Chain A
């Protein structure tokens, strides 16, 4: 990794129809103990927290952003959303602690807060050695995604592989 940080710039070659996958884990919503067995939890805004700018810098990225998997790249490799849950990507954690959310790029680019204020998100590829499909989503209006913006993301996301209580 070079010293140069990669600027976060929305990549127009990533089409609006492209699907993005985002790992979600029970730990982000306080664990599974409060959910009845067999229940799928509602999608939480906690799943859309940005990687802090200081941490993003360690990955060569110039600002706060949220990691995703570009489904188009995953599919080109003959894989599906389960590829984002490979054990080597989970830091030794139990794969059953994870689910995968999906969201369409166009929905993020046109994102609006509850009060209809536009909060467009940008997306760009940021391949990593073990995740060639890795990309990032970033807020084009705020330095770090605000709570109201994450709440709006909940409304356009859906479970691809649900967390199961």
Chain B
């Protein structure tokens, strides 16, 4: 496991409890995910899963002790959205499906 300071800027090591919740969050979204994400640590020891195509990027972020967040960006449409992740939100499903194509 990466140690504290893994990013050379004092980034926290992975919060293991949060990692288990992160997997649960991704399971809830599994039906809308078409490809493997790139997964990286946050500076707080949380996790970010990112899916991207040439024009679209979606990510799910879970910081220790906080609710999961979702972000989407469509470069062609010059559109971006960030907010709490609601797995049943049809927009989240659509955006995740598009960015993970």
Contact = CB atoms under 8 A, between A and B. Distances in A.
B40 A147 contact: no
B78 A51 contact: no
A17 to B, nearest CB: 25
A147 to B, nearest CB: 5
B31 to A, nearest CB: 22
Contacts of A90: 8
Contact of B73 (A23, A51, A151): A151
A40 B7 CA distance: 19
A91 B9 CA distance: 10
Contacts, number: 73
Interface in B1-21: 2-3, 5-12
Given A148-B80, A151-B73, A28 B39 contact: no
Interface string A107-118: 000000011000
B7 A27 contact: yes
A9 to B, nearest CB: 20
Interface residues of B, number: 29
B101 to A, nearest CB: 15
Nearest to A58: B10
Interface size range on A against B: 20 to 34
A89 interface: yes
A101 to B, nearest CB: 13
A25 B7 contact: yes
Interface in B49-78: 50, 61, 69, 71, 73, 78
Contacts of B80: 114-115, 148, 151
A139 interface: no
Contacts of A89: 8
Contact of B41 (A27, A58, A91): A27
Contact of B9 (A30, A67, A93, A146): A67
Given A93-B8, A98-B8, 6 more contacts: A27-B6, A46-B42, A52-B12, A66-B9, A91-B6, A147-B69
